[in-house]
Structure 1
Amino acid sequence: MNTSRHGRYGIDAPYVPALMAVGLLACLGVIAFTSLRGWWFSAGLVALLLAIYMHTTLRGKFAVWRNLLDARQWRGDEQVLDIGCGRGAVLLMAADHVPRGRATGIDIWSSKDQSGNGIDVTARNAQAEGVADRVELKTADMRALPFADASFDLVVSSVAIHNIGDAAGRDQAIDEAWRVLRPGGQLLIADISKGGQYRRRLAAKGISAERRSLGWRMWWGGPWMPTTLVSASKPLVGDGTEAD
Structure 2
Amino acid sequence: MQQVPKQKGNYGIDAPIVVRNLSLMGIGFLMIGVAAFFVFPARLQWLGITMGVVFLLTCLIGTVEALYMVWSSKVGKFRERERLLDLVAPRGDEKVLDVGCGRGLVLNAAARRLTTGKAVGVDIWNKQDQSGNDPEVTRANARIEGVADRVEIISGDARNMPFTDNDFDVVVSSLAIHNIKNSVDRSRALGEIMRVLKPGGRFAILDFQHVGEYAEVFVKLGALDVRVVGPHWLIFPPVRIVTGSKPGEREG
Instruction: Please report the TM-score for the alignment, with normalisation by the length of structure 2.
Output: 0.86
Choose the corresponding residue for 1:199, options 215, 232, 237.
Answer: 215
* Inter-partner Cα distance in structure 2 for 1:136 and 1:40: 48
Instruction: Provide the C-alpha distance between the structure 2 equivalents of 1:72 and 1:143, rounded to a whole number of angstroms.
Output: 22
- 2:9–2:145 contact (8 Å) kept in structure 1: yes
Aligned residues between the structures:
234
Identify the residue that residue 28 of structure 2 maps to in structure 1: 26
C-alpha deviations, 1:167-219, integer Å up to 9, x for none?
A: 11111100110111112211101112211221111111232311122411123
Does residue 64 (structure 1) correspond to residue 80 (structure 2)? The answer is yes
Which stretches of structure 1, 4 residues or more, deviate above 6 A after TM superposition? Answer: none
SS at match of 1:218: coil
Amino acid at match of 1:15: I
C-alpha RMSD over aligned residues: 1.8
Cα distance in structure 2, aligned partners of 1:58 and 1:233: 31
The correspondence for 1:101, drawn from 117, 120, 128, is: 117
1:61 and 1:217 in contact (8 A); partners too:
yes
Q: Which moved more, 1:211-220 or 1:7-16?
A: 211-220
2:181 is matched with 165
Alignment of structure 1 residues 67-86 onto 2, 5 Å: 67-70=83-86, 72-86=88-102
Residue 53 in structure 1 maps to residue 55 in structure 2: no
How far residue 101 of structure 1 moved from its aligned partner, in angstroms, is 1.0
SS in 1 for 2:171: strand
Structure 2: runs of 5 or more not aligned: 38-51
Using the size of structure 1 for normalisation, the TM-score is 0.89
Q: Distance in 2 between matches of 1:206 and 1:60?
A: 33
- In structure 2, relative to structure 1, the CA distance for the partners of 1:149 and 1:194 (3 Å cut) is same
Specify the alignment match of 2:9 in structure 1. 7
Taking the TM superposition and a 5 Å limit, the aligned residue runs for 1:131-146 are 131-146=147-162
Q: Does 1:228 align with 2:244?
A: no
Q: 1:28: Cα distance to partner? A: 2.2
2:127 and 2:29 map into 1 onto residues whose CA distance is 28
Residue from 209, 214, 217 that aligns with 2:234: 217
Larger radius of gyration: 2
| Deviation of the 1:72 alpha carbon | 4.8
In structure 1, list runs of 5 or more residues that go unmatched.
221-225
One-letter amino acid of the counterpart of residue 173, structure 1: A
* Identity level (%): 38
Matched residue, 2:190: 174
C-alpha contact (below 8 Å) 1:64/1:214 kept by paired residues = no
Amino acid at match of 2:16: P
